[in-house]
Amino acid sequence: MIPPIRSYGALEGFLAPARAQSELWRSGLGAAAIVMIYLAAGWGLLIVLSRSMPEFMLLRLMNEIAAGSTPRGLVILLLTFAPLLLGTIFVTRKFHTRSAATLFGPGTLRTLRLLLPWLLLFSLFTFALALLSADAGRSNPLAVVLSWAPMAVPFLAIQITAEEVLFRGYLLQQLGARSRNPLVWMVLPSALFGALHFSPGEYGNHAIWPALWAFAFGCLAADLTARTGNLGAALALHFANNFGSLFLVGFYGQLDGLALYTIVINTRSGFDLAPWLVLDMLNVLICWLIARLALRV
């Protein structure tokens, strides 16, 4: 039996709703059902689109969605995470007979409101620093970004909420209810989160490094969840990070459909990619520290 880490006292309350039905078979079946719901929704969308437009238009739209290379494509891509969120909520209610609110924990909105403005302010600061690089170039006009923002920002909220509810909500709770060991409830979901960010098509032989970055991000988000007993800090961290990379400055050709500026580098080159990954990791670490200071956890 591993004693609880002192800083993670709030974790016990966050895990409590999951303890009654935390059998491994039930959690595994629930995770599989979430994946099936998500994939079925994707196939359903593809069928609807294929019946509503010519094949050449469908192929162009699918390319836009896959790359997030246009405002339309990026917005649709963000919206495709809605079934993931709904699937996780459905499984929690039907497989574990507990409310969706238990996935978020008490005080989530309060924590989110307190922390998010500080992290967004820091994102603006790092955005200004990124513009000093010779690799940074103008992408979308401000008017285009602002015109899409009323739709894109709420859809971004859906995307980050879907991922946090699954990885730092459902999986963390179900595994944490079985074991107090952080290797179980923190590392395992974060390893899966990182694996899903493994993209040789975009990063070539260096795809392991962005995946490790995502793994580290997952661990930091899980740490904040355990310290606060809710998803508020993880949601704020995820939203600020994605807001900066999607709407302020991102890599050229990678989800840059609404980015004001892009970093124009060869992402398959370790020499070009490494400095930006290091800076991005430092950015997340500083945001994690800001969260701990702001929330006093």
Q: Where are the alpha helices (DSSP H) in the chain?
A: 11-15, 24-50, 55-67, 71-79, 82-96, 101-104, 108-130, 142-164, 172-176, 182, 188-195, 200-203, 208-228, 232-243, 270-295
What gap in Å lies between CA 266 and CA 293, rounded to an integer? 36
Q: Evaluate whether residue 104 is within a structural domain.
A: yes
Banded pLDDT at 1 (limits 50, 70, 90): very low
Q: Evaluate whether residue 1 is within a structural domain.
A: no
Instruction: Encode pLDDT of 116-175 as tens digits.
Output: 999 999 999 999 999 999 999 999 999 999 999 999 999 999 999 999 999 999 999 999
Q: What is the number of structural domains in the chain?
A: 1
Strands (E) across the chain are located at 136-138, 249-251, 261-263
Give me the amino acid identity at 259. Answer: A
Q: Evaluate whether residue 288 is within a structural domain.
A: yes
Buried b (16+ CB within 10 A) or exposed e, 124-140: eebbeebeebeebeebb
Q: Evaluate whether residue 226 is within a structural domain.
A: yes
Q: Evaluate whether residue 159 is within a structural domain.
A: yes
Mean pLDDT, the chain, rounded, equals: 96
CA atoms within 13 A on the CB side of 45: 16
Q: Evaluate whether residue 3 is within a structural domain.
A: no
What gap in Å lies between CA 90 and CA 85, rounded to an integer? 9
What gap in Å lies between CA 293 and CA 270, rounded to an integer? 34
Banded pLDDT at 4 (limits 50, 70, 90): low
pLDDT for residue 2 is more than 80: no
Q: Evaluate whether residue 2 is within a structural domain.
A: no
Closest CA to 126 of 5, 289, 287: 287
Instruction: Encode pLDDT of 5-62 as tens digits.
Output: 678 999 999 999 999 999 999 999 999 999 999 999 999 999 999 999 999 999 999 9
What gap in Å lies between CA 139 and CA 133, rounded to an integer? 15
CA distances from 75 to 100, 133, 136 (A): 25, 28, 23
Q: Give residue for tokens 């490494």.
A: 274
Q: Evaluate whether residue 5 is within a structural domain.
A: no
Segments forming the whole domain that contains residue 115: 11-295
